[in-house]
Amino acid sequence: MKRVWAALVLFAAAIALCAAGWGQTVRHTNRVCAVLSQAQACAAREDAAGARAQSEQALAAWQRAHDVLCTFLPHARLESVSQTLAALPALAQSGGLGQFSGECARGISQLQALQQEEAPHLQNIL
């Protein structure tokens, strides 16, 4: 009987850890998506300085989030987002705001896919 209780405790701990990981993923990716949306808005207004500032803010937020998310997620999936976000300040500075906006959309798409892949849906569990 003690083994059953130990198994139940371990199962509950695993569920709690998974829920915490998903919560952290949602919180951090939503924060970075919001900043990227602001950067896209700056690009749409032809505000290169604002777009660069927002992209640097998004990169800084992602770097803070990366430290937490690498606990729960494989590094390969996080690195593709890191590479996308790292290119944004240079794009904004060079004046390619159309390409900058496209890269912002790509980053948002990658972050949303990361959320969907980690969501506790039946297709993700099986």
In a domain, 82, yes or no: yes
Token readout for 27 is 């919180």
In a domain, 4, yes or no: no
In a domain, 12, yes or no: no
Counting the structural domains of the chain, the total is 1
Question: What is the Cα–Cα distance from 75 to 79, expressed in whole angstroms?
Answer: 6
In a 13 Å sphere around the CA of 13, the CA atoms on its Cβ side amount to 6
Question: What is the Cα–Cα distance from 39 to 119, expressed in whole angstroms?
Answer: 26
In a domain, 8, yes or no: no
In a domain, 56, yes or no: yes
In a domain, 7, yes or no: no
- In this predicted structure, the answer to whether residue 41 has a pLDDT above a threshold of 90 is yes
Q: Give the pLDDT band of residue 126 (cuts 50, 70, 90).
A: low
In a domain, 94, yes or no: yes
- In this predicted structure, the answer to whether residue 113 has a pLDDT above a threshold of 80 is yes
Domain with residue 65: its CATH number is 1.20.120.660
Residue 84 domain boundaries: 22-117
The answer to whether residues 89 and 52 touch, using CB atoms and an 8 Å cutoff, is yes
Task: Report the predicted TM-score, pTM, of the whole model to 2 decimal places.
Answer: 0.84
In a domain, 2, yes or no: no
